[in-house]
């Protein structure tokens, strides 16, 4: 999954900001006249309501033909490319970032603002050179503050319209999470990944970052929960599994640590042969497969992939498959003396012969799971 990059920052003068605000207001008026937005929509409403800003940006993307007189370059030509400079010197992407960032800052401030309370206290004062002590009742206001670091870290990483619906989820992250994320907050692109990351403690994140290095953003974009497992491996083994399994490595690293102990028995050539299968195979099935040498393991896996298709994952992820079917497949190859090419043919023929039985078995397992 590609990790979004924030548009380059730009220093805007007050004149440029005023020109942008005036331009947005003109576009709002154009959309109102064309019936594209409701009459109540205003610039103030956009920067104070994430839902309203999100709807406005979607409307803009679908209505660029209406705003050519407002959105244009230095030569007066209409601009639709988000990264092309406008007459005011900034790009559409940078203007969107400004609006989204402003809206996010307001949302986070208001959502996290402490309730302001008035407390009454008795204060003792002295008069007449300390000879007389008076007790007075005074009132003062407390609360009403906000975690400025949280506001700053979230808002500075906001730039895209798709982030606006995620603001309540981003708000689940505490300051420690945000500081560990740094510039990688936009890598969290769904409620599910944000929730997974929010469940991690700082030490788990730090250990995984030290192992994964520059791959950190890719990890949290796909499966943040895998950080818990990544910290258990060395840098060398992490990068080896990453190459051998591709993005399926993130699913592998999210597995239980007892499974890692079993995988520690595998040498690198065997890990490469299993590949993404290690992201889902149950420990009981892996144990059964380990009765075969590397060549027999290879031909059996290839035979199952061809013969079983998508059902291979359903089968190998179920521990019952080990004793019900896989054991027979393993034993059919265990003592065969053939060259690897002939062995591959034998494995494929056997797997194809058992494919109907496997398909029926998988369906029965699914039905039993639904009934339990």
Chain Cα centroid distance, residue 210:
19
Could you read off the pLDDT of 56-66 as tens digits, one per residue? 999 999 999 99
Distance CA 108, CA 110 (A): 6
Distance CA 91, CA 64 (A): 15
CB proximity list for 264: less than 8 A, separation 6 or greater: none
Q: Nearest 5°: CA angle at 77, between 76 and 78? A: 120
**C-beta of residue 324 within 8 angstroms of C-beta of residue 361:** yes
Which of 243, 299, 246, 294 lies closest to 270, judged by CA?
294
Distance CA 233, CA 260 (A): 9
- The alpha carbon dihedral of 93, 99, 102, 108 has a sign of negative
Distance CA 317, CA 22 (A): 59
**C-beta of residue 46 within 8 angstroms of C-beta of residue 164:** no
What is the structure's pLDDT at 142?
A: 45
For 103, 126, 194, 288, 348, the CA distances from 50, given in Å and listed in that order, are: 6, 54, 18, 53, 56
Could you read off the pLDDT of 213-254 as tens digits, one per residue? 999 999 999 999 999 999 999 999 999 999 999 999 999 999
Q: Is residue 138 predicted with pLDDT exceeding 70?
A: no
Question: Max CA-CA distance within the chain?
Answer: 110
DSSP state of 100: H
Confidence of residue 129 (pLDDT cuts 50, 70, 90): low
**C-beta of residue 346 within 8 angstroms of C-beta of residue 338:** yes
> Which sequence spans correspond to the domains of the chain?
14-112, 114-145, 200-371
* Percent of the chain at pLDDT exceeding 90: 83
pTM: 0.84
Query: Checking phi first, is residue 49 left (phi over 0); if not, alpha (psi -120 to 50) or beta?
Result: beta
Could you read off the pLDDT of 288-338 as tens digits, one per residue? 999 999 999 999 999 999 999 999 999 999 999 999 999 999 999 988 888
User: Euclidean distance between the first and final Cα of the chain, in Å?
Assistant: 36
């Amino acid at each position: 999954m590609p990790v979004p990059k924030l548009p380059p920052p730009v220093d805007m003068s007050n004149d440029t900001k005023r020109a942008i605000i005036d331009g947005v207001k003109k576009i709002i008026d154009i959309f109102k006249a064309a019936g594209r937005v409701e009459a109540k929509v205003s610039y103030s409403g956009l920067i104070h309501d994430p839902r309203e800003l999100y709807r406005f940006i979607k409307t803009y993307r679908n209505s660029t033909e209406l705003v050519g007189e407002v959105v244009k370059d230095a030569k007066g030509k209409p601009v639709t490319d988000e990264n092309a400079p406008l007459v005011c010197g900034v790009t559409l992407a940078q203007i969107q970032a400004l609006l989204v960032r402003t809206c996010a800052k307001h949302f986070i401030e208001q959502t996290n603002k402490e309730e302001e309370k008035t407390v009454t206290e008795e204060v003792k004062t002295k008069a007449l050179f300390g000879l007389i002590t008076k007790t007075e009742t005074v009132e003062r206001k407390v609360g009403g503050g906000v975690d400025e670091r949280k506001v700053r870290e979230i808002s500075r990483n906001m730039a895209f319209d798709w982030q606006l619906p995620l603001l309540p989820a981003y708000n689940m992250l505490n300051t420690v999470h945000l500081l560990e994320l740094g510039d990688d907050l936009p890598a969290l692109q769904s409620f599910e990944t944000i929730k997974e990351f929010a469940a991690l403690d700082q030490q788990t994140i730090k250990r995984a970052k030290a192992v994964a290095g520059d791959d950190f953003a890719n990890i949290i974009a796909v499966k943040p929960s895998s950080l818990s497992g990544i910290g258990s491996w060395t840098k060398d083994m992490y990068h080896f599994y990453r190459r051998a399994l591709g993005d399926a490595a993130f699913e592998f690293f999210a597995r239980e640590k007892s499974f890692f102990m079993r995988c520690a028995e595998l040498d690198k050539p065997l890990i490469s042969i299993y590949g993404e299968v290690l992201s889902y195979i149950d420990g009981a099935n892996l144990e059964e497969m380990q009765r075969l040498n590397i060549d027999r393991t290879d031909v059996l896996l290839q035979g199952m992939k061809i013969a079983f298709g998508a059902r291979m994952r359903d089968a190998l992820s179920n521990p019952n498959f080990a004793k019900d079917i896989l054991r027979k497949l393993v034993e059919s190859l265990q003592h065969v003396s053939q060259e690897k090419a002939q062995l591959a043919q034998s494995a494929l023929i056997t797997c194809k012969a058992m494919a109907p039985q496997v398909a029926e078995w998988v369906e029965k397992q699914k039905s039993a799971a639904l009934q339990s």
